[in-house]
Amino acid sequence: MLTRRQALATLALSFGAVAAPAIARAAGPVLTRDVRLICPYAPGGTVDLLGRMLAEAIGPRLGGRNIVVENRSGAGTFIAMQAAANAPDGYTMSMSSTATLATTPVLPGAMAPIDVDKALANVTSLIRVPMVLVGQPNAPYRTLAELITYAKANPGKLNIGNSGQGGQTHLLAARLMHEAGITMEQIQYRGGTPALLDIMAGNSDLYFSLLPESLPFIRDGRLRPIAFVSTERNTTLPDVPLARETIAGFTGDVGYGMVMASGTPPEWLAFWNEEINRAMSTPEFRARLESRFLVATNGTPAAYTAEIMEDRRVWGAVIQAAGIRAGA
């Protein structure tokens, strides 16, 4: 018979044997140099901020190595993703536009430098972000219905920015023109920040913006919110209507994830998936995301692939119905 003290000691040892793997860091690669985390947009935007948050959260766990955020904007996020695709070394990651991964293979006329399905390996989804159509505060329209009426009366007078062909902003603009029966010139920018600055300078008219990027300017009156493309009204700006209240079914919040080269060794993919999920699952990280109106979507590589395929199904139908082409 065990004494009570012996029984407790045995129980403690048994619990430790079971619990240790749950709290210990999984065995993985040993880093011998710093890591590149490539952001496909200009500094100062939502995606750039998320990349720096991840670098800050993961860096201290890398045994003295650092995650260096590198901004390589342009070409609808392909400059960044191609850089990652060309470096299957485990030390190079790129943040990705889920819309670009979803739509490029089904967008007629898309001239992508890489085959996203073959050249890239999905690490994890990261976030979904509410998007709002914004314009100049002194524009002669306040609502989406008024905008459509004005555009019909002044064909070709308005322009609308996008942050890359084949991306969400390009597709939303093309879809708006098709479903509303209006024409506008599309202007390509290297990210949301320069597009918004051009509107505030009076050089551009409209842009489908990530809410965190445009909210400060909406609050100080330098931008006018016209409509959200979410499925539900946003509690931050509850008086701003939804686009689908004017155009049935018009939704399209944007998502972002993390990718690496398809030739990256599996142990590196698993390592970075684990580190990103650990960082994003902490209460502190979640609170920082929520304070910036970002919704965490991190999970397994398979879950991110499923998200991309579902977006491809939805947007593929829109592209076909609207006759959307790259460059149009």
Confidence of residue 23 (pLDDT cuts 50, 70, 90): very low
Counting residues of the chain whose pLDDT is more than 70, the rounded percentage is 91
Separation CA 41–CA 48 (nearest Å):
7
pLDDT tens, residue by residue, 241-281:
999 999 999 999 899 999 999 999 999 999 999 999 999 99
Across the range 32-51, mean pLDDT stands at 94
Query: For position 10, what pLDDT does the model report?
Result: 38
- Is the pLDDT at 26 greater than 60? The verdict is no
* Three-state SS annotation for 221-268: CCCEEEEECCCCCCCCCCCCCEHHHCCCCCCCCEEEEEEEECCCCHHH
> Residue 2: is it exposed, middle or buried by C-beta count within 10 angstroms (0-12/13-18/19+)?
exposed
Confidence of residue 46 (pLDDT cuts 50, 70, 90): confident
pLDDT tens, residue by residue, 153-192:
999 899 999 987 777 898 999 999 999 999 999 999 988 8
pLDDT tens, residue by residue, 125-141:
999 999 999 999 999 99
Cβ 73 vs Cβ 190: under 8 Å: yes
Count other C-beta atoms under 10 Å from residue 132's C-beta.
Answer: 27
Phi, psi for 80 (deg, rounded to 5): -70, -45
Helix, strand, coil share (%) of the chain residues, nearest 5: 45, 20, 35
For strands 67-71 and 224-228, give the pairing: unpaired
Fold of 35-128+254-322: D-Maltodextrin-Binding Protein; domain 2 (3.40.190)
pLDDT tens, residue by residue, 96-119:
999 899 999 999 988 899 999 999
Confidence of residue 124 (pLDDT cuts 50, 70, 90): very high
Q: Which CATH superfamily is domain 131-245 in?
A: Periplasmic binding protein-like II (3.40.190.10)
| Domain residue ranges in the chain | 35-128+254-322, 131-245
- Is the pLDDT at 50 greater than 60? The verdict is yes
